[in-house]
Amino acid sequence: MSRSAPLGAPAEAQNVLAITPFRRLWISLSLSNLGDWLSLLALVSLAAIFTAESSTLVHYLAVTGVVAIKLAPAVLLSPLVGSLADRLDRRWTMVGGDVLRGLLYVSIPVVGLLSSGFALQWLLIASLLAEIVALLWTPARDATIPTLVPKRMLGQANKLTLLATYGAAPVAALLFAALASVSNLLGALVPSMANPEADVALYLNALTFFVAAIVVASLPLPKHAVSKGSLSPNRDANTIHAVLAGRTAVGSGPLVRGVVTGLAVTAAAGGLVLGVGRPHVENLGAGNAGFGVLVAALFLGLGLGVVSGPRVLKQFSRRRLLGLAVVLGALALLFTGAISDMVLSAVLALVLGLGAGLTWVIGTGLISVEVEEEQRDSAFALLHGTGRLALLLGAVLAPLAAGFAGDHEIPLGGPLTYDLYGSGLVLMAGGLIAVVAAVVAYRQANTGDPEAGPGLLPELFAALRGVTPTAEEEEEARLTGAFIVLEGGEGAGKSTQVRELTVWLRDQGFEVVGTRQPGATKLGMRLRGILLDRENSHITDRAEVLLYAADKADHVEQEILPALRRGAVVISDRYVDSLLAYQGAGRDLAVEDVGEISAWATQGLVPDLTVLLDVRPEDGLSRLGGPADRIESESVEFHTRVRKGFRSLAEANPDRYLVLDAREPQEKITREIQRRLRPLLPDPIDSSSEAVTGMIPVIRPEQEA
């Protein structure tokens, strides 16, 4: 499996960005998303500033209002506004949306300067209008991307769009912190900036939207037919319906419950930090700069978790690691509320983000393997919708609860006191609830875990050392990939199935090595020429066995074992069973003797699954259009013995074999193999790519209006 980062190989990203129209659109999207995140930080801070002299409850209610307006419309109003999106010109929807948002955001500090009594009210009104405009802007963006890139590059284009959306968050937070740090200097240069109500971040925020509008206005976008019945693709549309429908489609097994619970816990924890982060850091004496650092740490940790998730403790059970990641995030939230130090708060926010990122990428990776392919879109919609709802509820309810809780001073004896602020109390209470829910998620996810070792701590300590608890388990853990073999008589369709499975598995994010016997190595190609040359009819039966065994020995050592050790899925067209069937049963040699030679040559390596495509010799040979090599030229009686040999092997080991009728349609055979193969697959290293992309469903050309 590929060790690439979730966003794919750098060369692939460069190829997509080499398309000038898409590169310019991507720059525009990056600027717009930077403005979105910057506006969230600035508006929350302004709401806190405007109510600094008010009561604690009013102070927190103002923050609640801003957070709700920024996050709720995308979840609640997208289905209503989406019906209008596809009736508008995409270019001018994006241009107008960026310009309008820029004007609305720049008007907030201006109104604050002109009328301080109306500042908070206009902040809320302008924020709501800007979010409604964004609801039209988002589907226009999503529908434009497929018109600018070839279909084969669409997946990478979506990943880059994901990077522009969520990668802008830590950049905006650090920028906001930097602007807050130099606000005094700016106030000296421009007196109007000295007023804390005129937050310079909103001026810069408006500038990013104006530049984004200019970039989009110059794009050569194709015209599209206005649709009256369908909607443009929108990742936010009808989140609640996606959650309900996804739960129905995916089911409610313990693993699904564990993943959904864990994702909800970490998303809600992040929402709590966003909701009360600004008042909390103010209580710590940090202000706007501290808020920016706190949010930057949270999202940097999230990105670190997503990128490193597939590589962390590779020998450790993925289900156990999922549960531990949720517990890690919950404990970080608990301690964030308990301490009163800004530096430690930022470190704990980083740890919380790390736990959330690990939870997301490991959880989606498990779901992508465990859930049937036809239900996978619903599963990702369920996870994405659950995360958005949990984030929204956490961010909106946290400041509301903190306002009602109030601030308290607890005497510790003598002159010592402990200041318990409402924000810290909410973070601690949320952390306690999150810890309990995390333990539940851990138990659910680990019900029936086939990868679990003898115990949590022994397995964890062994994984930290890079070993497993016992020498036998250590040897088994070295082969982290999966080994699949296609067997069958001549003309059974093995090569076709190898090709179909290779494409399918690569689409799931696996590294796949498609190979064959004989002939996969340099030595194997020479042996193949000798063995299949019709002029070499003088080769004796025992010599033929040894030549085939030599090919398998070289193939296993040079190709198969290295691929399995690095976690790849190996799909081989023929393996040891062909030697047993052709040279054992077909040549009337002792199958036990041939098996001993094969086991020694292949170092005892046994496939995880052997698919036997059963076909009558007459039918299989007729597909070939005539014999092409020495084996195909053998008699029908020989091939009949081979078929019986294959069937005997399958009957003796039914757990490892999947026997299919080769006369069935190719698509049906492929689906049957996929269904049997799915539980045997390792965790896809690139599953994070698919999983994270699931946050923005892949945009396909047929979804266009």
Helix and strand numbers (H, E) in the chain are 29, 7
- CATH assignment, 250-469: 1.20.1250.20
Q: In angstroms, rounded to a whole number, what is the distance separating the alpha carbons of residues 594 and 140?
A: 65
First-to-final CA distance of the chain: 36
Domain ranges of the chain: 1-162+182-220, 250-469, 481-681
What pLDDT, on a 0 to 100 scale, did the predictor assign at position 72?
83
Spatial CA neighbour of 104 closest among 165, 35, 197, 30: 35
Q: Which two tokens stand for residue 162?
A: 């994901």
What pLDDT, on a 0 to 100 scale, did the predictor assign at position 294?
92
What pLDDT, on a 0 to 100 scale, did the predictor assign at position 204?
87
What pLDDT, on a 0 to 100 scale, did the predictor assign at position 571?
92
Let me know if the fold of 1-162+182-220 is the same as that of 250-469.
Answer: yes
What pLDDT, on a 0 to 100 scale, did the predictor assign at position 187?
57
Spatial CA neighbour of 684 closest among 443, 470, 512: 512
Which residues of the chain register pLDDT less than 70?
1-13, 78-86, 183-199, 222-252, 310, 373-374, 376, 414, 448-479, 625-627, 683-705
What pLDDT, on a 0 to 100 scale, did the predictor assign at position 248?
62
Is residue 279 within 8 Å of 402, Cβ to Cβ? yes
* 490 marked as binding residue: yes
- In CATH terms, the superfamily for domain 481-681 is P-loop containing nucleotide triphosphate hydrolases (3.40.50.300)
The pLDDT tens digits for 150-188 are 887 887 888 888 888 888 899 999 988 888 777 656 555
Q: Which fold has domain 1-162+182-220?
A: Growth Hormone; Chain: A; (1.20.1250)
* Burial zone of 181 (CB within 10 Å; 0-12 exposed, 13-18 middle, 19+ buried): middle
* 494 marked as binding residue: yes
Helix (H, G, I), strand (E, B) or coil at 315: coil
* 489 marked as binding residue: yes
What pLDDT, on a 0 to 100 scale, did the predictor assign at position 217?
87
Threshold 0.85, pTM exceeds: no
What pLDDT, on a 0 to 100 scale, did the predictor assign at position 686?
43
What pLDDT, on a 0 to 100 scale, did the predictor assign at position 198?
44
* 644 marked as binding residue: no
Sequence-distant (6+) residues with CB within 8 A of 94 are 28, 137, 140, 141, 144, 213, 216
* 403 marked as binding residue: no
Q: Which two tokens stand for residue 242?
A: 């996606």
Spatial CA neighbour of 550 closest among 582, 586, 518, 573: 518
